[in-house]
Structure 1
Amino acid sequence: MKHVYTLADLRDPAFAEAMPNAKLAVIGFPIKHSASPQMHQAALDEAGIDLQYIRVEVEPGDVDACFVEMERLGFIGCNVTVPHKLDAMAQCDELTDDAKALGATNTILFKEGKRIGHNSDGPGLARAIFEDFGKSLTELRVLILGAGGGAGRAIATQCAREGSPAIYLSNRTVEKLEPIAKSLTEEHGAKLVYTLSTDEKDLINAANRADLIINSTSLGLHEDDILPLPVTALSARHRIYDAVYNPPVTPLLAEADKLGAKTSNGLSMLLHQGANSYSFWLGQEPNITAMRKGLG
């Protein structure tokens, strides 16, 4: 079994012979870093389901071709990560309410000749926040850093759907936030939505009003990354959630820990969105303990 497969591998007649039980996958570009296979494989093995979950690296523009090969090979479905979530949605025949609301798909089910797109990120985030901090999004005023990106928008939409009392959207390009804010209030019932730039003063003011700060930027992937907001914006009363999970302690979480704030990383969101995807494909709940152990 290879660490990463490609579209060429799926097309190779030898693949079906060598990997007859490979019926689930995660696709992305790049994909070698994904922790989804060990998480899902642990749940499949625990349940005694003789299937394999693999990584498939798919170049931009090749999502439809990948789906064609997966359907031919009898795949049950796949997870979709960056940069393919919008393209994957465009290739679907049907969308779940979660996919429609969040405007992207991260889970595909191949069923009766149809491609059904789902989004487990939103429900996964809600479960993760409650598990990690003991409070639901319904109770928390939220500041979202990098809200103009796909991940940030999905997070903001879930916060609105859950009834967060106030949502603060921050992005380098403020103009990107206006249609998002309008969607949150008009389509998803958001109570209060504020948009702001990455100006230091604006971030500090918003953080002073927020209970939960979520980093959905890529800042934190590298040790020398700058913080996504000033350290003076952080306090011990905050809950800090970094969607980055590798490294497990980002510069933002390290600074928040020093102040005594409650912190968590994106591994819990990965876990719960994974459990949601598993249920969507197989119609049964996975063993969360096994999935958590699979993540190490």
Structure 2
Amino acid sequence: MTDTVYQISHLVHVPRRHYGRMVAAALVLAALAAIAHAFVVGQIEWSYVGEFLTVPAIMTGLVNTIVMAILAMVVGIVLGVVFAIMRLSDNPVLSYTALGYIWLFRAVPALLQLLLWFNLALIFPTMGIPGLFSVPTVEVMTPFVAALLGLGIQQGAFTAEVVRAGLLSVDRGQYEAAQTLGMTRLKMLRRIIMPQAMRVIIPPVGNEFIGMVKLTSLASVIQYAEILHSAQNIYYANSRVIELLIVAAFWYLIVVTALSLIQGRIEKYYSKGAAPAADTK
């Protein structure tokens, strides 16, 4: 027995070679090298990229993109919370109204909604209260307002389902305990249910916010001066299409990266007290 143990202790451990992983890694590196080489030797004037990276028109477009993304998400979150609560209501009128809103605005493409809002003056030439005041719809439905309504209302439909899932994730006993304490429904949601539901709500809403930053590019179709529209106006004048598109892509990457870091911090804050598996690294 002693001899056997002695022999085993002198065995040399030879790690297994993962040839498949090595081949896959080599192929990926080769593909990345080929893509990088194509951009280096391609007909791209990188000096123009650097020149237009911080011009006033691009910076204005960047600010407009961020402002529109924030405001549209605020509208979407407010509508999402309201319609999620309506969807869970015992009142069938409220519940089916919320269901209809969610069904309609999730089904119609975002670009189509933007075009409908922007061209609202074609069917409603004026807006106001009959006999009191009226204004031309074309003066009210500016590109900014049309983009805010189109993006915000659509986002509300998606956010409503996220919030509803978060509310349903809270144990039924929490609702019953709050009712036993005599809390009103609003107080129960604000102090007991929503803080627990946020753990489920924050990750998808954070992703929706990041998606909204990119979704604002659709507003260029209705002449809203976000970053893509600004880049397009410049390359229409100097024909440096790829260079200006790279500039726009660069700023989208910067904004999305910053938002991803912020989202990670918020998720980590709301995962306090959760199981280790739910911790955000």
TM-score, structure 2 length as denominator?
Answer: 0.18
Pick 1 or 2: higher relative contact order, CA cutoff 8 A, min separation 6: 2
TM-score, structure 1 length as denominator?
Answer: 0.17
Structure 1 or 2: larger strand share?
1
Structure 1 or 2: larger helix share?
2
